[in-house]
Every structure is written in C-alpha cells, then in structure tokens.
Amino acid sequence: MTAQLLWLVPGLPLLGAVVLGCCGRVLPARVAGAIGAGSVGAAGLVAAVIALRWWHQAPAGDVVIDPLWSWMALPGFSSRIALYLDPVSLLMTLVITLVGFLIHLFSTEYMAGEDGYSRYFAYLNLFVAAMLLLVLASDLLVMFVGWEGVGVCSYLLVGFWYGDPANGYAAQKSFIVTRIADIAMLAGLLLLSLQLGTLDIQPMLAAARADWAPGAMAPTLAALLLLIGGWGKSAQAPLHTWLPDAMAGPTPVSALIHAATMVTAGVYLVVRLHGLFEMAPAVLDVIALGAVATLLIAACCALVQSDIKRVLAYSTMSQIGYMFLALGAGAWGAALFHFLTHAVFKALLFLSAGAITMRLHHEQNIFKMGGLRGELPIAFWSFLVGAASLAALPLVSAGFFSKEMVLGAAWARPGLGAVMWVAGITGAFLTAVYSFRAVFLVFLGPVTTRVSGSYGVRIWLPLCVLAAVALGIGWLETPAFLGGAQIFAAMLAPVLGAGVVERLPLLVPVAGMVVPVAGVVVSYGLYRSGFWHAQAVRPAGVLRRFLGSGMGFDALFEVTLVRPYLWLVAVLRRDPVDRLFDVLRDVAMAAHRWLRAGQGGKLRRYAAWLVAGSAAAVLCVVFA
Amino acid sequence: MIPWTAPLVLALMLFLLGLLGLLARRGLVFVLMSIEIMLNAAGLLFVAAGARWGNPDGQIMFIFVLNLAGAELALGLILLLRIRARLPDLDADAADLLRDAP
C-alpha cells in the first residue's frame, strides 16, 4: 500500500511543475497559485498518510522500495530508478513537503501581482520535486539527477527577477560554485561505481563493507569526494560564497532553499551514506574541522550584516555547520534532529522576514527599520520565536534541544571533541548575539519606516503554524535531565542504530543553557549602549569591512581563481598555437606578392624573359 | 662554291633581327612578322645543315617549319582580329588584358 502511494510524493509536485510550465500563461493567477500550493500540499498529505501508517505498523525491515523502472543495464553496471523509503527519507520527505507547502502557501500571497506568477510556482514545484527525488532515490545516480535538479531550480529561482543583471549574476554564482563541487561528487560516484560495480545505495554499502578495510585509501577518497559535493550544496566553507548572494531571489525562495531543500542535501548525503563515512575516520575529522570553521566564520560575518536576509543567510551556514559538527562526531541522529528543528525555525524566520519587508516596500536594511513590534505584531512574535530557536534559548525553543544534542555529541567525541565543543559553544554565543541583534534593531525603538498593507490568512497561517511547531517540536528528544524523551531517536533507530546515551558532565548542559541567555543579554546591552546603531552611522573599520564581505572569501577566489582564469581566457582568445601556423601563411603570401609582379600582361617583357632564360640555358650547356 | 658557314651566319643574323623586332616593336603585325623571320632563320639552318651533310632530312624539316609557320600565322591573325575588335589599335603593350590585376 505504501509502495503504491510512494510515487505520488515526488510525482505530484512534478506534475504541478509540468502543468504550470506548459500552460501557466493561460491560467489565471488564482488557479496557478492553487495548483502550485495544492500539488505540494497533496504530496504532503500523501507523505503524512504514509507516515501515519508507518507509525501504526512499520513495514518489514523498516524499508519500502518501489522499483519504478530500470534505467540502464550494462555488463558490470546497472542502475534502476527506484524509490527507497526508510525512516530517514521519510523524515526528510515530511519536512520537505509540509514545510514546503507552508512556504508555497505563503508565496501565493507574497508574490501576488508579480510578473511571472505561474512561472514562479512552476520553478518552486520543480524544486520540491527534485529535492524529493534526491531524498527518495534508491540509487546514487538517480540521487544525482535530483541533486542537479535542485541546483538548476536554485539557479532559476535566485535569478527569478532576471531584469536586474545583479540577480542574474547571483544566480550564475550559485550555480557555478555548486557545480564545481558537483564535479568532485561526480568523480566520487565514478570511483564508487568502478570499484563496487553498483551505485544502488544499500548493495553498494554492503559491497564497500565487504571489499574495503576501514580507513583504507578507497573509502577515504570516495567519502572525501562526496563530502566536497555535499559542502558545495550545503554552503560550507570554503564553498559557501554563493549562499549570501543567493538572497537575490524572492524571500520565500530563500526560505525554501534554506529550510526544506537544497542546503540540507549535503547533510542528508552524509547520513544516507554513513556506512561509507564510518569507514573513513579521517574524513570525519575533515567534516568536524570544516564544520568548526564554517560555523564560526558564518557567525562572525552575521554580526555585521545590515541586510536582514543576509543575517539569516549567514545563520543558515552556521546552523548547517552545527549539523556537520554532529556528522563529524558520528552523531547522525543529532544532525537530523538539528535539521528538523532548523527547517522549521529557519522557514519561520525567512517567512517572517518576508512578511516584514513586504509591508515596508521591500526595505531589507535592518538599520532603517525599528519599532515594528507594535506595527506588525504577528511578524514580531513569529520572528521572535524563530530567533529564540535560532539562538537556542533554553526550554522554550526547539533549537535548544537539537543544539544541546549536537553539542553533547561533540563533547563525547574522542580526539577533536573538546575543540568542537568549544567552537560550538562559542558559535552558540555568537548566534544568540546576532539573532537578537536583528530582533532588537527591527522591533524595538522608535518607528522609522512607513508600514503599509495588511496580512491575509495565507501569510499569518503559515507563520502561526511554524511558530507553534518551532516552540514544541524540541520535546521529541530531550536531554536526560529534562525527561530523556527519545521519540525521534527511536524513530530513526532502524537506520542509524540506537542512540547511545552519553554521560555528560554537568558543565555541558549548563553551558548550553547559560551561554545563549548570556548572548541575548550581551546583545541587549550592546543595543542599549548604541553599539549596534553605531554600525550604521560610523564608517566601517577594517574588521567590519572584512567581516561584512564574508571574511574576504570572494576576494580570495577573485584573486586565486577568477583572475587567473580570465587571464587564461584573454591569452587563449588570441589562439597562440594557431599563430605558429600563421608563419606558413605569411611565407606563402610573401611569395605570392613577389611572383605576381611577373604577371604584368606585357608581351614584350615575357619575350625578354624567354630570351634571357634560353640564353642562360644555352650558356649553362656550353660552359658548364 | 660558298662556304657552309655562310648560311649559318645569315641564319643567325636573321634570327637576331627577328628577336630584335619582337622585343622592340609594339605593333602586333610587326611582332608576327618578326616571329616569321625567326622561323625562317630556323628553316634556313635546317636546309644548310642538310646540304652540309648531304642529308634530305633538313629539307623535310623545312617543310614542317613552313607548315608550322602557316598554322601559327593563321592563329596569330585571328587573335589580331579579335584584339582589333576590342582595342583601339594594335599596341602590344596595351593588350595586357590577361595581366594579374592588383
């Protein structure tokens, strides 16, 4: 039964995309919006039905496979297009479809009156369909199709307002940077398929366990290549530069990219292939160090951004850094739990940011906002809940529980654990500071902007639902001193194994509770003392310019990659190898010019040459 | 009895006269006549050589040369008529229509 329904989950959004893409022009906007949101909503409904049946009675082996077609069958390699549903992909599917549906619903009102309304929903539906294919694929090759589909859709949506060349540039950047990472991923897939003969995930992992020794060269290299692909999609340093620029798209698109689709693909990839990554402990170290770097870099950059969406973009990088931190610690469940809470509160934050800016004539500069608490109470409360969750304020927010789990796992990791925990707790402090910096600047103080319009039900309903979930969902999995609920871990146990309950020293949970609160207090102190406002007034110093530009990664790539590349292009444009053969041409042309002078058409000159030639011949014969 | 070298000298003089005419004259009729003179010089050489060695082949060759001269003259006169139809006068230097145009 589940298997019969499963194909509908990616199929419905795909159908919506096809319908909207083919005849979106002739459909009225209301119908286009209904198809766009409805198809994802229906997919969400199907996913929910599947989940409820699963809850009622899990299928044998906790796996449902729907073999749709055989893609290719070659000697030594075959691939099939099949859907693979286990608790991990079920979780991803639920988040993608349900959060995605709320974002679609929000979009129907947010984008009202825009040109290309149906085009927008066609892209959005395709985006969700590609992401669902990615998480449901049984075969890495099919997953790669979804992987690239997500990349294409992000390109289309970031550049949705293509009238402005800057948006097109941002879209190209997001596509090219992730493509560069995808090359590494493709190399990893080639390596796996050549070595193991299949890319079907479960047989492949079994073959890897049978053929390869843990820590050997082959699994390490394969895992590293796949990790680079995941880094690119998940915007981890140093391949993160596309994410802040991707804010050029409409705000609900940012919500979709950051919460439900795209950037979590890297996390999912590692969790899906955790059998492979467990065989490559060196790569887990790399993951951990990359995560430490990313979460600190992004948190520092977020401290000085003036665009509300860029603050959120850097916070996403930082939070995905936490997920990778958990992955580096081998705590797959913690990573997925943080993914779940992050999907909810980041969608909430982006949608509230969209709700704020749509009332302010799309003003995104937080320094020009202020005092909006009374003007926009719905946006205020939902943004506050989201920011609390992002800052991981204890007990009241979902982010607290998941971050606690991540930090606990980091602490318990032998080796790098202490470094990871210190970085994580520092990042938590910075997160609280920058997220409440945005809250204070936007909502407190005197009103400085004109507010217009009002919210319809399709704006406030998604905000309220997401806010309620962001408050409550953390209780699925609580630390030992808060009841020790393990509903989430129990659900994932068939795939990821039963979670080991670590005995943590008191310091870990206490620090996890105190540090975010301290961050909020510090942020408030800086707000009251005018430090944040000074950022808008005073000219930027070296440090702030450095952080504001994303720690100079763009400039670094400009110097190390873009300039040499453009130089090479400029050199090769003149085709230096071809110049070599121009010598032949030049010799032939010179000879031609010289000889053609003899073709004067003068009869007597020809005769004279004939005489001279004959005389020379005779002289040669006589005297030689 | 004239010495056998006398016709040789005559032939050489005739040939050089023809050559001089070919190179120096611009009138195309005179050019054709100069060519005829050079052919006659060659014919005289054949006849003289035949007489020197008592061999009839020289006279046979002379008849060939006469044929050749007739055929050549026929073609030359046709070309002359064509040039006359296209150009104002029979100037060899003006008739450079087959030159390689710059």
CB contact under 8 A, A603 and B97: no
**Domain spans, chain B:** 5-86
Q: Would you call A240 helix, strand, or coil by DSSP? A: coil
The helix or strand, by DSSP H or E, that contains position A332, with its residue range, turns out to be helix A332-359
In this prediction, residue B66 carries a pLDDT of: 93
Yes or no: domain B5-86 corresponds to CATH 1.10.287.3510: yes
- Compute φ and ψ for A557, nearest 5 degrees: -70, -35
Q: How close is the nearest chain A Cα to the Cα of B74, in Å?
A: 19
- In this complex, do A607 and B22 lie within 8 Å of one another by their Cβ atoms? yes
Residue A484 or residue B50, greater confidence: B50
- Considering chain A, what is the average pLDDT of its residues? 88
CB-based contact A596 B98, cutoff 8 Å: no
Best mutation target among A595, A599, A603, A606 (most B Cβ atoms within 10 Å) is A603
Q: What is the pLDDT of residues A435-482, one digit of tens each?
A: 999 999 888 888 877 788 888 888 888 889 999 988 888 888 777 777
pLDDT at residue A365 greater than cutoff 60 = yes
Residue B70 distance to chain A (closest CA, Å): 21
Q: Does B97 touch chain A (CB under 8 A)?
A: yes
What is the per-residue pLDDT for A504?
75
- Whether residue B96 and residue A601 make contact (CB cut-off 8 A), yes or no, is yes
Dump the DSSP string for A520-557. Answer: HHHHHHHHHTTHHHHHHHSPP-HHHHHHHTTTTHHHHH
CB-based burial, A60-81: b 16+ in 10 Å, e otherwise: eebbbbbeeeeeeeeeeeebbb
Asked if B86 is an interface residue toward chain A (Cβ–Cβ < 8 A), one would say: no
User: Mind telling me how many Å the CA of B90 is from chain A's nearest CA?
Assistant: 12
pLDDT (tens digit per residue) in A557-607: 888 888 999 999 999 988 888 888 999 999 999 999 888 888 888 888 889
* pLDDT at res. B76: 92
Please list every residue in chain A whose beta carbon sits closer than 8 Å to the beta carbon of residue B30: none
Would you state the pLDDT for residue A499?
Answer: 60
What tens digit of pLDDT does each residue of A188-239 get? 999 998 888 888 888 899 988 888 888 888 889 999 999 999 999 888 878 8
| Residue-wise pLDDT tens digits, A232-256 | 988 887 888 888 888 888 889 988 8
Name chain A contacts of B100, Cβ cutoff 8 Å: 596, 599-601
Lowest mean pLDDT among A22-26, A183-187, A406-410, A537-541: A537-541
- Are the C-beta atoms of residues A159 and A249 closer than 8 Å to each other? yes
Q: Closest residue of A to B25, CA-based? A: A604
How many angstroms separate the CA of residue A571 from the nearest CA in chain B? 36
B19 → closest Cβ in A596, A603, A611: A611
B4-23 tens-digit pLDDT: 889 999 999 999 999 999 99
Shortest CB distance from A600 goes to which of B23, B95, B96?
B96
Q: Is the pLDDT of residue A143 over 60?
A: yes
The arithmetic mean of pLDDT across residues A346-352, rounded, is: 92
Distance CA A498, CA A11 (A): 33
**Is the pLDDT assigned to residue B63 strictly greater than 90?**
yes
| CA–CA dist A85, A271 (Å, integer) | 14
Q: Could you tell me if B95 lies within 8 Å of chain A, comparing CB atoms?
A: yes
Q: Taking CB atoms and an 8 Å limit, are A602 and B26 in contact across chains?
A: no
Query: What does the pLDDT read at residue A564?
Result: 93
Q: Which residues in A lie closer than 8 A to residue B97 (C-beta atoms)? A: 601
Residue B69 belongs to what H/E stretch?
helix B57-86
Q: Predicted confidence band at B102 (pLDDT cuts at 50, 70, 90)?
A: low
Percent of chain A with pLDDT over 90: 35
Is A601–B99 a contact, with Cβ atoms under 8 angstroms apart? yes
**What mean pLDDT do residues A258-268 have?**
86
Is there a contact between A327 and A335 (Cβ–Cβ < 8 Å)? yes
Using the Cβ of A596 and the Cβ atoms of chain B, whether some distance falls under 8 Å is answered with yes
What ipTM, to 2 d.p.? 0.87
